[in-house]
Structure 1
Amino acid sequence: MDIWGDIKRTFKEGSVLTRLIYINIGVFLVLKIIGVFFYLAGQPAQLAQWLSVPSVTQDLLRRPWTPITYMFLHSGFLHLLFNVLGLYWFGQLFLFHFEGKKLLSVYLLGGLVGAGFYILAYNIFPAFNSVYGLLMGASASVFAILVAVAVYDPNREIHLFFIGRFPLKYVAAFYVLLSILSISTSNPGGNIAHLGGAFWGWFYIKRLQKGTDMGDGLVSWLDKFAAWFAGVFKPKSKMKVTYKKPPRDDHDYNRQKHAQQDEINNILDKIGKKGYDSLTKQEKELLFKQGKK
């Protein structure tokens, strides 16, 4: 059973949503496996800190990649589970209305705006003067997707376990309100990032309804980067292409025709002695081209 082959196939053939889920799960597993080796070596595993968004701007300048990496990073299994489930549920609703490129842009830009809200809050409000925080998780991106689809299709009903069916606008409003109320009680940085993601989801759809796709530039840049990256690591063909010069006169033309006919005769003799399967790829192509003339 080729599990790794199935994973590669579904990642390659799957939607943007499938790939985002795979990346989140993959990053979690890789970091946990690396953490096991650090544990066995008796060393502290600090890789997650280098991928999380720090609240101190000096550290942020030394780790400028963190506003991207943090949105694929999770502290524990339940943290990962809830974010992946939210990404799947609300991502499916989003893809009902829009293509995958828009989902990718909302995920990435929602995460970036969430990180921006977090950094600003920790450097503006006095409550965080003596607090050093680290931000990780896909929840800001998930909030951006939830609010985006709720603004676009507010009256779509979804089924909530043990509660019943509710319009999507009320579900989004509940989670946004819960994040606001939870700032002073638990995980203030994460809840502020949720609000940043929610703001981007609202802003994105409002601009899209006026004819402006705020994520189009990002997606175009990612497409160009992906094409460049694939070209760099694409194996070069070992096939050597040669071009025959046209005959200079009748004598040269007859010589080339005789040489080609001799080559065809040799191929036919080989088929008679060893069968068609004994031919090389080049011999089969030559025979096929000759048969079309």
Structure 2
Amino acid sequence: MFSNTQPRQNTGDFLKKLFLGKNILSRLILINTVIFLLVNIVGLFALLFNLSAASFISPLAKLLALPADLSLLASKPWTIFTYMFLQEGFFHLLFNMVMLYFGGLIFQEYLNQQKLLWTYIFGGLFGGIFFVISFNVFPAFNALSYISIAMGASASVLAIIIAISTYVPDYSVHLLFVGRLKLKYLAIAFILIDLLSIRADNPGGHIAHLGGALWGFLYAYSLKRNNDVYKILYGFKLPKFTWSKKEKRFDTPRADSGRPLSDDEYNYKRSASQEEIDLILDKISKSGYGSLSKKEKELLFKTSNKS
């Protein structure tokens, strides 16, 4: 849908990098794709063996989708998280992943992978909360709350797009059939489309999109004022395992003395390192890569090799 200039590569290499890359963007796309396949495979078996009541919704999708009804939500609280990775229709998946890919690429030009991950998650959470509250507060939706569910990455994706549009509003992208357009105008268009579409056949989806958009705006607004609300989360990271032919070994972070780091020490070092990287990225966005010192370039290079 939109693009910035990227070097050409063959389709095989592109798909391999897209789905098997070690970066957060590739992993988000892979998770969404795998869940899509699982949901539809389970749905196919349920249909063939009459394991589910007549429905176009896979039994697994029902388990992962976010219900608007509060009593149903209380019995499936995990759905406030799982719904944001759930796409049942192929074109639903395709559109969301294309938007996530291009929006994520621009996001990572100015911000880092951890910010991308947390914007995806919190954008989805905000979208889900907006959806549930709206269907239980507004009289127009009360009668629909029992049968209404939300699924899809759209709120998360829109959070990413609105966040980067707020952070660098004058960044230009090339739109098919439209030409070059600044992100701020694209963001306004997305929001207006969702606002005007609430009266259509999918009000819950558009309300969730607006919740994600609100989070993206609030996060970027605070970030431009040097207030990163994700900072407390940067210390949390899944442990890394290294594998050898003889054995599998868990790499434990160690202090200079050789003893293992405590959780507090590790989280402090991780947070301090992240702050340095954020300052370097801010410097690049303002003055360009050439403004970095030799030490800053080395730190950025080492960090990128760890990702």
Q: Secondary structure at the match of 1:64?
A: coil
Q: Secondary structure at the match of 1:81?
A: helix
Render the CA deviation track for 1:164-194: whole Å, top value 9, x for unaligned.
1111100010010100000012310000001
- Pair 1:120 & 2:133 matched: yes
The Cα shift of 1:62 comes to: 0.7
Structure 1 residues 8 and 92: CA distance shift in structure 2, 3 A: closer
- Pair 1:24 & 2:36 matched: no
- Pair 1:186 & 2:201 matched: yes
In structure 2, the partner of 1:273 is: none
Larger radius of gyration: 1
Q: How many residues end up aligned between the 2 structures?
A: 225
- Determine the C-alpha separation between the residues in 2 that align with 1:110 and 1:103: 10
In structure 2, the partner of 1:166 is: 181
User: 1:147 is aligned with what amino acid?
Assistant: I
Q: Which piece of structure 1 moves more, 145-154 or 209-218?
A: 209-218
Structure (1/2) with the larger helix percentage: 1
> Which of 214, 218, 235 pairs up with 1:199?
214
8 Å CA contact retained: 2:46, 2:59: no
In structure 2, the partner of 1:209 is: 224
> Which of 130, 133, 139 pairs up with 2:148?
133
In structure 1, the partner of 2:45 is: 37
- Give the gaps of 5 or more residues in structure 2: 1-13, 53-57, 250-307
8 Å CA contact retained: 2:17, 2:26: no
TM-score, normalising length: structure 1: 0.72
Q: Which piece of structure 1 moves more, 31-40 or 87-96?
A: 31-40
> Which of 40, 47, 61 pairs up with 2:74?
61
The Cα shift of 1:13 comes to: 4.4
The Cα shift of 1:220 comes to: 3.1
- Pair 1:52 & 2:65 matched: yes
- Give the gaps of 5 or more residues in structure 1: 1-5, 238-293
8 Å CA contact retained: 2:85, 2:152: yes
TM-score, normalising length: structure 2: 0.69
Q: Secondary structure at the match of 1:220?
A: coil
The Cα shift of 1:129 comes to: 1.3
- Determine the C-alpha separation between the residues in 2 that align with 1:186 and 1:109: 26
Q: Secondary structure at the match of 1:59?
A: helix
* Sequence identity percentage: 43
Structure 1 residues 156 and 236: CA distance shift in structure 2, 3 A: closer
Render the CA deviation track for 1:256-281: whole Å, top value 9, x for unaligned.
xxxxxxxxxxxxxxxxxxxxxxxxxx
- Determine the C-alpha separation between the residues in 2 that align with 1:163 and 1:13: 31
Q: Secondary structure at the match of 1:70?
A: helix
- Pair 1:175 & 2:190 matched: yes
8 Å CA contact retained: 1:105, 1:216: no
